[in-house]
Amino acid sequence: MRVSRGFTGSRRGGEPGRLPPGQYDVGSNWPVLTAELTPRVDPDSWTLTVNGRVADPKVWSWQDLRALPPSTYSGDIHCVTTWSKLDTSFTGVSVDELLAAAGPLPEATHMVATSTTGYTTNLPLADITGGKAWIVWEHEGRPLTVEHGGPVRMLVPHLYFWKSAKWIETITLLDHDEPGFWEVRGYHDRGDPWREQRYQGD
């Protein structure tokens, strides 16, 4: 092993194995690294659409979503820029709930999430079904702030956080994979932090 002369490091995570490789614990901070200007999103006119390869395309208003059975994720999140935020929580609705309503067609294999800003990110359906993904509007019991993707963002905590599209408006199911904003800009197609899939080819 080659070492960096004189480097000791001061932010070692607590439990061994808790942080994915190359990540550090950002503590109570929550960096904002969005590529776009934070948009102005009005919850009263905002809607969430699930369309594409589904039996029954659906549109939910802010009120409609909140009437669905709530679901909370408690755990860690990992950003590709190497910070991880441990023991945090988000509340919203499971993506399973939305997909059940829209009815994915048998040929649906992937999805692309689109934000108010035009930002997109792609995910295999296997990564957003079975309790692995949420649409959330609360962080640690408080409304999700706009710089963190509020009023409503996607949450896919087992993948790098660029997959958790802020200001989400549309989930489109596809019968093929279609790289999103960062995925066409050199970042990995899937982004599993435990396999350190940061960039294409990792």
Partner 1 sequence: MTEPAPAPGPWQWATVQAVVPENRHVSTLRLVLPTWVPHLPGQHYVVRLTAEDGYTASRSYSVSSPPELTGIVELTVDRLPTGEVSPYLVDEVAAGDEVEVRGPVGGHFVWRGEGPLLLVAGGSGVAPVMAMLRSRRLSHPEVAARLLFSVRSPEDLIFAADLGPETTVVHTRRTPPGSARPAGRITAADIAAVAFDRGPAYVCGSSGFVETAARLLADTGRYDPARILLERYGPTS
**Does 28 help bind partner 1 (rule: CB under 8 A)?**
no
**Does 64 help bind partner 1 (rule: CB under 8 A)?**
no
Q: What's the min distance (Å) between Cβ of 18 and ligand FAD?
A: 14
* Closest to ligand FAD by CB, 84 or 172: 84
69 binds, among partner 1, ligand FAD, none (CB under 5 to 8 A by kind): none
- Residue pair 105/54 in contact (Cβ under 8 Å)? The answer is yes
The Cα–Cα gap between 191 and 178 comes to: 14
Sheet with 110-115, side-by-side order of all strands: 58-61, 47-52, 168-174, 110-115, 120-124
Q: Which two tokens stand for residue 31?
A: 């960096």
Nearest to 31 by CA among 71, 73, 99, 81: 81
12 binds, among ligand FAD, partner 1, none (CB under 5 to 8 A by kind): partner 1
Q: What is the H or E stretch that residue 66 is in?
A: helix 62-66
27 binds, among ligand FAD, partner 1, none (CB under 5 to 8 A by kind): ligand FAD
Which positions touch partner 1 (CB under 8 A)? 1-12, 22, 24, 29, 31-38, 81-82, 117-118, 147, 181-182, 184-186, 199-201
